[in-house]
């Protein structure tokens, strides 16, 4: 059972159902606010889930997907749109073969479905910082890594506040992503998928999204000059792409 702070719900009851698997909910949904507003404007009832809230004691993404699948099937009789960001996006793709098999539309935002050496090295570097320097230093490094690769390394960073369970969340999330491989689940999915990712990302890049353009209903779009947060780095362009995707008619 989820606690009230692990899910935020808004929008009309009885309308189209959208779930958003957010990587964290420490900010009470502020990170997802522009996306939430767009989905509400498109007539969705939106449930934003704190993905890591039930992932901390799972062995890997597959076991996390089993746990979240059971929760989502209990809470929703149908899901019309599934959105996942970063770790939450990886999780959504693991759910495509079962819980989300009949979901017609999926959006992945900086959402990897396959690791490569570069992604694993970046994640492992943060894990090493977590182990040797603690969660505050790891959060600072994470904040740096999610920025676009043209951002200046000499910029001073503000002190990072450390929310509860930071170490456990980072340890689990980064470790799981080091072995992400949802290619089989993606290949089996018959619905529409839109992936958005930053062309200047230090972590998730186009090579971590497979297949990129191999099915008519699946499309990955790189946003220039963006890091891991394209909804913040290129909000207007990203929102236009999402709106167009939601308005596409079935082929």
Whole-angstrom Cα distance, residue 31 to residue 85? 10
Mean pLDDT rounded to a whole number for the chain: 90
Higher pLDDT, 239 or 32: 239
Confidence of residue 152 (pLDDT cuts 50, 70, 90): low
| Number of residues written out for the chain | 251
Confidence of residue 212 (pLDDT cuts 50, 70, 90): low
Higher pLDDT, 167 or 213: 167
Place of tokens 């570097």: 125
Residue 99 is predicted with a pLDDT of 97
Instruction: Kindly report whether the global pTM for this prediction surpasses the value 0.75.
Output: yes
Q: How many CA atoms lie within 13 A of 2 on its CB side?
A: 23
**Shortest CA distance to 17 belongs to which of 66, 71, 75, 67?**
75
**188 contacts 95 by C-beta, under 8 angstroms:** no
> What percent of the chain is predicted at pLDDT more than 90?
75
Of 66-80, 104-118, 209-223, 230-244, least confident by mean pLDDT is 209-223
Which tokens in the block code for residue 2? 């989820």
Which tokens in the block code for residue 5? 């702070």
Strand partners for 18: 46, 81
Each residue of 132-145: pLDDT tens digit? 999 999 999 999 99
What domains sit in the chain, N to C, each tagged with a CATH number? 4-115+180-247 (3.40.50.1820), 117-173 (no CATH)
pLDDT exceeds 50 at position 154: no
Mean pLDDT of the region 85-104: 97
Of 80-89, 109-118, 147-156, least confident by mean pLDDT is 147-156
**Cα 30 to Cα 106, 119, 137, distances in angstroms:** 21, 27, 23
């Amino acid at each position: 059972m989820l606690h009230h702070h692990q899910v935020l719900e808004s929008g009309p009851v009885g309308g189209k159902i959208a779930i958003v698997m957010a990587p964290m909910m420490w900010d009470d949904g502020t990170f997802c606010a522009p996306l939430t507003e767009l989905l509400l404007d498109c007539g969705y009832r939106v449930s934003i889930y704190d993905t890591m809230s039930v992932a901390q004691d799972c062995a890997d993404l597959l076991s996390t997907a089993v746990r979240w699948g059971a929760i989502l099937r209990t809470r929703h009789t149908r899901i019309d749109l599934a959105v996942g960001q970063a770790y939450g996006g990886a999780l959504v793709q693991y759910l495509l073969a079962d819980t989300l098999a009949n979901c017609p539309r999926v959006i992945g935002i900086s959402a990897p479905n396959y690791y490569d050496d570069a992604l694993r090295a970046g994640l492992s570097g943060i894990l090493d910082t977590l182990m040797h320097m603690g969660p505050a230093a790891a959060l600072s490094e994470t904040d740096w890594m999610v920025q676009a690769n043209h951002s200046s390394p000499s910029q001073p960073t503000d002190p990072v506040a450390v929310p509860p369970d930071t170490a456990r969340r980072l340890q689990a999330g980064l470790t799981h992503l080091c072995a992400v491989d949802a290619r089989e689940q993606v290949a089996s999915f018959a619905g529409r998928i839109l992936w958005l990712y930053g062309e200047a990302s230090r972590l998730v890049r186009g090579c971590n999204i497979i297949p990129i353009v191999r099915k008519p209903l699946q499309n990955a779009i790189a946003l220039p000059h963006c890091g891991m947060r394209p909804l913040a780095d290129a909000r207007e362009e990203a929102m236009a792409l999402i709106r167009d995707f939601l308005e596409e008619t079935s082929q």
